[in-house]
């Protein structure tokens, strides 16, 4: 049974242990405003600490995942110009959502329906996995509006596609179709548009019903591996393995293997 709560620009719905957060400004292709940033940040933080949620899907309503920052809202701010420091502080707070998506202990999946541009692409890249419809279009687009990029997109691109490709994508702002985005490692899977929701939900349910403690340590190890030395990663992995070995889920997995049946994980 799915339950749904609607805010001005964000939909939050539940499918079992999966939380689905849907950007809901269809008339603006789900362009991000300060309000939507705040709502999304709060929703992601709430999902992170909810024990009944095992995975989070981020998507957009209508014809787009997210077209980036709302240029109309940007123009409106010109009426009362902010200082450089104030504007930088505001944008840094907007980036908190990307940080929360990366840092939360639960798997996050971007369900990319059609356009993901600028800050919208940055949000998708902050998720652990990305599933896109075959008609999706992805672009950094910042350079097209004389902007440099935010929400950690430089970090994400550098780690996902490497230095040379990250520079190409940001310098040129060219559009990528789903097939090319898959080829360079920007997304994980491509499906037909009518299969996007079911395919993403199937994957999210698999993760949400998985061994939550092990998944938490997997995500933590991967985050550490982006900056730490091999020795530091090996030490962290050893501690995580020792911790996981003490869990109910590890014992259940061993029992299920002996009994030749699927394990029933409890996240304990």
Residue 138 pairs in a beta bridge with 116, 176
68, 163, 188, 196, 226 from 185: Cα distances, Å? 21, 13, 7, 18, 16
70 neighbors 33 (Cβ within 8 angstroms):
yes
133 and 221 within one domain: no
Number of compact structural domains in the chain: 2
187 neighbors 181 (Cβ within 8 angstroms):
yes
Span 3-11, mean pLDDT? 66
CA distance 101 to 128: 8
83 and 187 within one domain: yes
CATH number at residue 41: 3.90.226.10
Contacts of 135 (CB under 8 A, 6+ apart): 114, 178, 193
How many other C-beta atoms can be found within 10 angstroms of the C-beta atom of residue 208?
A: 24
Domain end position, chosen among 208, 228, 246: 208
201 and 216 within one domain: no
Residue 28 lies in a domain: yes
30 neighbors 69 (Cβ within 8 angstroms):
no
236 and 198 within one domain: no
Span 108-133, mean pLDDT? 97
Residue 151 lies in a domain: yes
Residue 268 lies in a domain: no
218 and 152 within one domain: no
Residue 107 lies in a domain: yes
Span 67-93, mean pLDDT? 73
CA distance 99 to 204: 20
150 neighbors 93 (Cβ within 8 angstroms):
no
pLDDT digits (tens, 9 = 90+) for 36-46: 999 999 999 99
Contacts of 227 (CB under 8 A, 6+ apart): none
pLDDT digits (tens, 9 = 90+) for 188-230: 999 999 999 999 999 999 999 999 999 999 999 999 999 999 9
192 and 107 within one domain: yes
163 and 86 within one domain: yes
How many other C-beta atoms can be found within 10 angstroms of the C-beta atom of residue 53?
A: 18
**Domain enclosing residue 248, as ranges:** 212-259
Domain end position, chosen among 172, 190, 208: 208
* Residue 74 pLDDT: 57
> Torsion angle, CA of 193/196/198/203, rounded to 10 degrees?
160
* Residue 1 pLDDT: 38
Residue 149 lies in a domain: yes
* Residue 80 pLDDT: 57
Q: Which of 124, 162, 119, 123 is nearest to 141 (CA)?
A: 119
* Residue 169 pLDDT: 97
Residue 266 lies in a domain: no
- State percent of the chain over pLDDT 90: 84
Residue 94 lies in a domain: yes
Residue 203 pairs in a beta bridge with none
Exposure string (b/e) for 93-111, b if CB count within 10 Å is 16 or more? ebbbbbebbbebebbbbbb
pLDDT digits (tens, 9 = 90+) for 14-38: 999 999 999 999 999 999 998 999 9
Residue 37 lies in a domain: yes
81 and 164 within one domain: yes
Residue 156, judged by CB atoms within 10 A of its CB (0-12, 13-18, 19+), counts as buried
70 versus 234: the higher-pLDDT residue is 234
């Amino acid at each position: 049974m799915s339950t749904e709560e609607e805010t001005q620009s964000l939909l939050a719905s539940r499918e079992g242990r999966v939380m689905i957060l849907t950007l809901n400004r269809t008339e603006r292709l789900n362009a991000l405003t300060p309000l939507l940033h705040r709502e999304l940040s709060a929703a992601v933080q709430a999902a992170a600490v909810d024990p009944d949620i095992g995975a989070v899907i981020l998507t957009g309503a209508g014809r787009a995942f997210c077209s980036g920052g709302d240029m109309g809202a940007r123009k409106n701010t010109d009426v009362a110009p902010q200082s450089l420091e104030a504007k930088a502080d505001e944008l840094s707070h907007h980036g908190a959502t990307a940080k929360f998506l990366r840092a939360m202990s639960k798997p996050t999946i971007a369900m990319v329906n059609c356009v993901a541009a600028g800050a919208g692409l940055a949000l998708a890249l902050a998720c652990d996995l990305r599933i896109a419809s075959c008609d999706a279009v992805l672009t950094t687009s910042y350079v097209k509006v004389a902007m440099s990029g935010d929400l950690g997109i430089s970090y994400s691109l550098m780690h996902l596609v490497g230095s040379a490709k990250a520079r190409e994508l940001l310098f040129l702002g060219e559009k990528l179709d789903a097939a090319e985005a898959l080829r360079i490692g920007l997304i994980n899977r491509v499906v037909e548009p009518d299969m996007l929701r079911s395919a993403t939900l199937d994957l999210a349910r698999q993760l949400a019903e998985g061994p939550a403690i092990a998944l938490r340590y997997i995500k933590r190890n991967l985050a550490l591996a982006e900056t730490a030395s091999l020795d530091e990663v090996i030490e962290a992995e050893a501690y995580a393995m020792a911790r996981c070995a003490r869990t109910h889920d590890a014992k259940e997995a061993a029992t299920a293997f002996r009994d030749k049946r699927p394990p029933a994980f409890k996240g304990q």
